[in-house]
Structure 1
């Protein structure tokens, strides 16, 4: 049996550079998955989710996928349609060859009534053996445009609604008949196992037998793969933090060329590392210690010893959204007093320089205002002279 882990999701998201936060489509088929999980944690923006040909027994952990448009759960072990009421964008649901029976059809319909589903596929489910199944579905799920690949016409829907009362009565009898058949099947299966436990006779196709078959196939497949490629199943050992002599290991396995600066800031040690901007932050693990800093990117270790002791718990870790650069600011336990004095002196010099620039700017602005006032006075005097010249002398 397999689980939907973060590692599996990244493996299936290679087309999206292994990023999960903005992943819109993923296919996880034929993986012997038994449970839907972690998709609502890592892949909130999924639009297409393909989970066909697994052994999933329950529709769960889907309601937070509000952007999901197409869900394929064909060839699984699901008995009832549920857990998609809040998938407000869901347009297409494929449940081909599952185990949705008449005992769960009413609950399934109640779920579908809360969705905006346009296309539904139920071919191969036990409920489709009932002759009234199609009319029962289309009479109650108004959003549907097609069922099992066949368009629902306006006339067909009206006729189905007209006989809904009769269908509901027939359903009661059909459910009782289904229960009797199921009890009879279980009884016969029990007798068969008691009298001939090793018999290879064909047994009924049920969620249990299908699960047993898939797990057997998965085990055989894994054994063959182990024989063919034993290296694949060896546990990968991460590079250790310490060397054999107990000292802190210094390394850069990922080739990210880290930068460490103890001198520019008298109170902090600055660590920088250029990481690809599209790399998901969840693939980065940062560990700040008083005497060293280590960063694992996709399992590869970058580690540097510190010349000065720092406050690990007060350190600040940031990552640029534009460049992807990792910046770690680590406060020193014993700040360098000489550097501190130099920094303060530089700060004062910078402040004095800024004040001088402000004064020069003010003087420049004052001079410009004076020049402007002088120009205005000259213009006014010229205008007054022109007016005097234009006035005729009285005789």
Structure 2
């Protein structure tokens, strides 16, 4: 191994700050929130908390969950994270079907459109694939083992996504690139055909999502980054179609015109099904942006800036179902140092009906109401100062993990001499 910063990442305190995450069932049957190692699910049909059943042949979760996702069909749900466990759940019975033990900490997950494969990426830049044998609710299933699918050379993979038509799997990393790989017919033998690279970001990429409609089944790719931009791509050729600068639009620009505007990080992108709209979460911004994508003109434009007044609510994750225009958001973090609330979450929702003005729902207007909030947030009220501190802690943790570190020549030579993989065993 040649990049010692990867070794440092593995040796960091396992209780580092982790952002709260949210994911919504494609038909809005349930909502899942994670805070640290805690997975909380609420059933919107029965209006009750979900009891998770884990009888799989594998260890229980101990450390922070870093990635969650429902499958496109709504039958599967996957959670994975710092404890090197990938849990594959039935999103109907909420039994854990499989536990996959990863070699390294997991940073991203994806589920194929036919639910036949689950892919996960680790912090060494390797994407693994697990082949599923179908869902059998009556059996306790054995542990699965992932097979290597593809690799980014020693670069943390931040996001995984299947193309809408299932032909490609896309992987984005902290080294500014997006790889578009043909998903093979025999994934367990590896993916060896690269379709393209999407190159143009100047900082780490945090999130990718497809915007598409029934007439354009493959769609176009949107990506968010630490370089203050959202970009639009043609994945077949890797061509950059448009770039949307978001710094000045969120009020983060510097008042001094002689200095360049401070960069902000796009933390999440959520595209609205059968629509040209996408919601964007931005680090340190109390609200969300709505972007519109003209699929014919290949352009991105800002439709609306939605600010959430009255509290320090800065979304750490956003999600929307394919059947509604309700944007779900969560703000929060786990493992906050020196806090009486080491892990917490706050859930909000915004109605995105295109024919009406967007409206921020009050707590009693959110589907599931107080029962949902009690399950997903917990019973403890969180002070404004704690929410602000959590947002700053998440920002620092992301910067430490994904920002490329700069070293002097002397320090670089010292690090080369003291690399762990160069030490000989006696």
TM-score band by shorter chain is under 0.3
Highest relative contact order (Cα 8 Å, sep 6+), 1 or 2? 2
More helix by share: 1
More strand by share: 2
Q: TM-score, normalised by structure 1?
A: 0.23
From the CA coordinates, give the structure whose radius of gyration is larger: 1
